[in-house]
Chains A and B, each alone.
Chain A
Amino acid sequence: METLSYSHQAARPAAGTKAIALVGVVASGNLEVLVERVAPGNRCEVEIHTAAAGFGAVWEAVVADFVERCSPGGLRLSINDGGARPDTVALRLAQAVRAIEEDAP
């Protein structure tokens, strides 16, 4: 098992007031993302637990791209990965932010 951690500065805080959201399932080719509104300021922290070791560069790129697109400031996203492809990961990260921003006007 490999654990990867990334910390970014997002452009804006995530909208809404929900404290927690969860998307996805740990199944083959899938992943779960637990998102919590606990990071300081506009920081975005992403932690990944995966059995597929050695893909750090790919995760790093996906996460950086996600931070730029979604501005998830103030969020910590924790991932349990079931061997998902990068596009599935990107989808779930975006879904996670939408879920925690659900009550935004």
Chain B
Amino acid sequence: MSAVDTPFAAPAGLQASWYEASARQRIAALLDAASFEEFIGPEQREQSPHLALFDLPAQFDDGMVVGRGRLDGRAVLVAAQEGRFMGGAFGEVHGAKLTGLLRAARDAGSMPVLILFDTGGVRLQEANAGELGIAEIMRALLEARAAGVAVVGLIGGRAGCYGGGSLIAGCCSALAISEQGRLAVSGPEVIETNRGVDEFDARDRALVWRTMGGKHRRLLGAVDAFVDDSIAAFRAAALVLLENAPAFDARTLEAEQARLERRLRDFGDCADALDVWKAAGVADAGAVPGMPAAAFIALADQTRSIRHDAR
């Protein structure tokens, strides 16, 4: 299918909300106009072969859109998850599309990769295939990085970036996140089920966001950029992060080992994110959740020890 014949409906502009946009709207607005060429598009009907067993409807693209486009004139490979289909979860076909894209990035060596995360993790109806897919994605991603390719993750959708998706994110060269974004291995309900509501009340949205949300992840150093919830902001962050990707080598991993060990020393006894932020030097930790994006970004940029290139 040619670039001018993209099957997207209802374009969203650069000022549109990332959170509200579909995977296809994000791609179309993020990249240079009409530059996107999809690989194995919906008309190929490569759907899940497993959902029918559970009497669940499939989606023509299995909730993963992959292709090539241009970002400020430069060729990039892009993958975007549709968080509203099966919670953006990884199934066999969904995962394989991203695996293939990353292997191409490794082999070409000349095109960076953008991964637009929007996922609850493994799709439980295809749990084993999803899990293997995630392991293969991580390997292919790191092979691409070892070949000098930057892989940047963008997190800000409805499903967040959970489970195996968060492990893939942890392999990226760099990550950008919005306030709406969440990044964690276990979801709030699972923690509550496992540890009790006194430790973690999954319905306490403020608690969920303090623990797993974009602002906390920025102040912790778990992500590299915090952005406003607009496609324009994610685009600007992507351009910056693509330029400064750390090498995947022993030096980077030793630096990451050191920063994670330091994090445990500095914050390992903190009971809540508010304690983490105070320990990190934020003067008015309680004001953080309500802070508008621009003010928060300025605060984060001043806060000690979260700037690093060790990922």
Task: Answer whether A and B touch in the complex at a CB cut-off of 8 Å.
Answer: yes
Q: Which residues of B contact A50 (CB under 8 A)?
A: 57
The docked-state distance in angstroms from the alpha carbon of A82 to that of B86 is 10
The docked-state distance in angstroms from the alpha carbon of A82 to that of B85 is 9
The docked-state distance in angstroms from the alpha carbon of A19 to that of B42 is 13
Q: Are A21 and B9 in contact (CB under 8 A)?
A: yes
Q: Interface readout for B1-36 with A: 1 if CB under 8 Å, 0 if not?
A: 100010111100000000000101000000000000
B43 sits at the interface (CB 8 A): yes
The docked-state distance in angstroms from the alpha carbon of A58 to that of B307 is 58
Contact (A99, B58) CB under 8 Å given A1-B52, A26-B85: no
Q: Which residues of B contact A20 (CB under 8 A)?
A: 1, 5, 7, 41, 43
The docked-state distance in angstroms from the alpha carbon of A49 to that of B41 is 18
Q: Are A27 and B43 in contact (CB under 8 A)?
A: no
B60 sits at the interface (CB 8 A): yes
The docked-state distance in angstroms from the alpha carbon of A50 to that of B57 is 6
The docked-state distance in angstroms from the alpha carbon of A96 to that of B55 is 25
Q: Using CB atoms, name the residue of chain B closest to A100.
A: B7
A-B contact count (CB 8 A): 64
User: In the complex, what's the smallest C-beta–C-beta distance from A11 to chain B, in angstroms?
Assistant: 24
Q: Are B8 and A22 in contact (CB under 8 A)?
A: yes
Contact (A27, B85) CB under 8 Å given A34-B42, A99-B9: yes
Cβ-neighbour of B59 out of A23, A25, A36 (below 8 A): A25
Q: Which residues of A contact B82 (CB under 8 A)?
A: 25
The docked-state distance in angstroms from the alpha carbon of A82 to that of B1 is 27
The docked-state distance in angstroms from the alpha carbon of A34 to that of B59 is 10
Q: Using CB atoms, name the residue of chain A closest to B63.
A: A26
Q: Are A26 and B7 in contact (CB under 8 A)?
A: no
- Interface magnitude class on chain A: 20 to 34
The docked-state distance in angstroms from the alpha carbon of A36 to that of B7 is 10
Q: Using CB atoms, name the residue of chain B closest to A38.
A: B43
The docked-state distance in angstroms from the alpha carbon of A99 to that of B5 is 11
User: In the complex, what's the smallest C-beta–C-beta distance from B286 to chain A, in angstroms?
Assistant: 36
A81 sits at the interface (CB 8 A): yes
Q: Which residues of B contact A30 (CB under 8 A)?
A: 84
Q: Which residues of B contact A71 (CB under 8 A)?
A: none
Q: Are B85 and A25 in contact (CB under 8 A)?
A: yes
A4 sits at the interface (CB 8 A): no
Q: Interface readout for A52-89 with B: 1 if CB under 8 Å, 0 if not?
A: 00000000000000000000000000101110000000
B residues neighboring A (CB under 8 Å): 1, 5, 7-10, 22, 24, 41-43, 45, 47, 52, 55-60, 82, 84-85
A residues neighboring B (CB under 8 Å): 1, 18-23, 25-27, 30, 32, 34, 36, 49-51, 78, 80-82, 95-96, 98-99
Q: List 5 A-B contacts (CB under 8 A).
A: A23-B10, A26-B59, A51-B55, A80-B59, A99-B10
